[in-house]
Structure 1
């Protein structure tokens, strides 16, 4: 008897992720999945499993012929060891046979997926002439968010706000090397920015939400804990607040959960991203709070897999 054919499991490293998953392609894949009817509320929730020195994060999903799961480890002590705090991989499967198709570097995939979700929101909500971006944070996600915003809008000004002047200076230099008109900035520049991207590990608000322009878009992706937030009640009270999924946001997003707890925002007022794509921009600022969901990893992993050569 002939043994059944077992497809080769593709091993996709960080360089291949960056080479074969352009930000614009990731944005388009996310938009297409939502337009095709992917329902974030019907997707499995992220789960955490404690370990002696950290935790496992498991993020499964299934859609349109594919299934997958991202397995990450979070080791708080690793930076002191000179190792990454977050490590892991994404496993992509055929949805019918459940045969494994690819093992993808999970950190690299996340580094594209997360800003792609933000760029999808910027593209849907920011004015076509939006040119001024202010980024809070100096790490990899801050860099990727500048690239993501540039994939959907022509940037003429990029401000970088960081707790460390040295790290902010280094990011500004890196952005300038890539051709971006970047400069170090202070939090007060939220009063001028068309788009504000919050890409930090802050646990308390980064700026005064009352200063944000009425036509501005704020994307906040830095926290996924109910007691940590990058934006304040003043912004939540003024803004239309968009989330990936209402239940997930109320459970994991401090920017949302704390604003609801304080009475600045009603849970019933939250708007999901699928609705965001099908309606006109509402008056006032837009706050887009994301925590990351498994369906986003699956959709971007599928786009990457189908774009691999050979």
Structure 2
């Protein structure tokens, strides 16, 4: 049995993680068959349990959410991943689950939107400055050169990144110019006016998995091709999608499963934005963990 700490998990790298996700989807993996995550209430927070199975392996990510931890100087969310042999169910490896999430989430996003990315240096606007924000920049840079990456945050003085204040003229200009916009925040309401975005913009939203929280406004989803990991999961957990449908700008029948875009069954749009809304699914952790362990 192996233990992979954060450095060992990161060693797969963005390119390897994107390749693992892409190969799995092209190889026949159907996210619709994945087991939904479940929550278990605890006295001081909750467990999130994310199990998944493939022919050669099975695994489960155990996530702890402790709302009181930040006041103690500890992370609010922590995780561990257990990887088992698919036939004997013997434990093969224990992985740093937080590092796995940090790697796999942007890998899924980039695998999803790669067919729509222009083949030139990208101008990227990233709302947020945390690990997922920087991870998406690094993963985009692994598949395309970046002309510029600008972080849009509420308080630029709190980050050493190249950042501008969200809502400022500079932030609006970054959104107008962006080939790719990434939203990786804990926001519960739309972060910006989507009329700023170009008709060929690619937008990724990964910040929430709750049906009443969203980072994107309904008009954007109404004028975009909306790609999701799995339609049923999005209708259950993706607030950006759920609320846009409730407001009448989007229909469930319009949603495109990511598998269809990655395999080429559905071509990327040529005349409208592409939005990829991700809530995170268990199969993603298993695919990337199995690629690390071999």
Question: TM-score by structure 1 length?
Answer: 0.90
* Post-superposition offset of 1:290: 0.1
Alignment partner of 1:171 out of 140, 161, 168: 161
Deviations 1:28-65 (A, max 9, x none): 00000001110100110011111111110000111130
Q: Is structure 2 residue 97 aligned with structure 1 residue 106? A: yes
Contact 1:110 1:297 in 2 (8 A): yes
Q: Is structure 2 residue 124 aligned with structure 1 residue 133? A: yes
Deviations 1:209-230 (A, max 9, x none): 1221111100000011001000
* Post-superposition offset of 1:172: 2.5
Counterpart position of 2:59: 68
Deviations 1:129-169 (A, max 9, x none): 2510000001111111110110111101111101111134x
Alignment partner of 2:215 out of 230, 233, 239: 230
Counterpart position of 1:289: 277
Alignment partner of 1:14 out of 6, 24, 28: 6
Counterpart position of 1:280: 267
In the alignment, the residues of structure 1 paired with residue 196 and residue 172 of structure 2 have an alpha-carbon distance, to the nearest angstrom, of 10
In the alignment, the residues of structure 2 paired with residue 124 and residue 296 of structure 1 have an alpha-carbon distance, to the nearest angstrom, of 19
Alignment partner of 1:148 out of 120, 130, 139: 139
Contact 1:123 1:153 in 2 (8 A): no
Helix, strand or coil at the partner of 1:242: strand
Contact 1:160 1:185 in 2 (8 A): no
Deviations 1:272-296 (A, max 9, x none): 1010111321130000000000000
After superposition, where does 1:37-56 map in structure 2 within 5 Å?
Answer: 37-56=28-47
In the alignment, the residues of structure 2 paired with residue 114 and residue 271 of structure 1 have an alpha-carbon distance, to the nearest angstrom, of 19
Which range is displaced more, 184-193 or 266-275? 184-193
* Post-superposition offset of 1:207: 1.0
Question: TM-score by structure 2 length?
Answer: 0.95
Counterpart position of 1:160: 151
Q: Is structure 2 residue 292 aligned with structure 1 residue 304? A: yes
Contact 1:226 1:258 in 2 (8 A): yes
Give runs of ≥4 in structure 1 deviating > 2 Å.
none
Contact 1:122 1:152 in 2 (8 A): no
| Structure 1 unaligned spans of 5+ | 1-8, 174-183
In the alignment, the residues of structure 2 paired with residue 268 and residue 84 of structure 1 have an alpha-carbon distance, to the nearest angstrom, of 39
Structure label with greater radius of gyration:
1
Alignment partner of 2:14 out of 20, 23, 31: 23
Deviations 1:89-140 (A, max 9, x none): 0000011110110000000000000011111123122222251000000111
Deviations 1:1-44 (A, max 9, x none): xxxxxxxx10111111112x111000000000001110100110
In the alignment, the residues of structure 2 paired with residue 18 and residue 116 of structure 1 have an alpha-carbon distance, to the nearest angstrom, of 12
* Post-superposition offset of 1:189: 2.3
* Post-superposition offset of 1:188: 4.5
Counterpart position of 1:186: 171
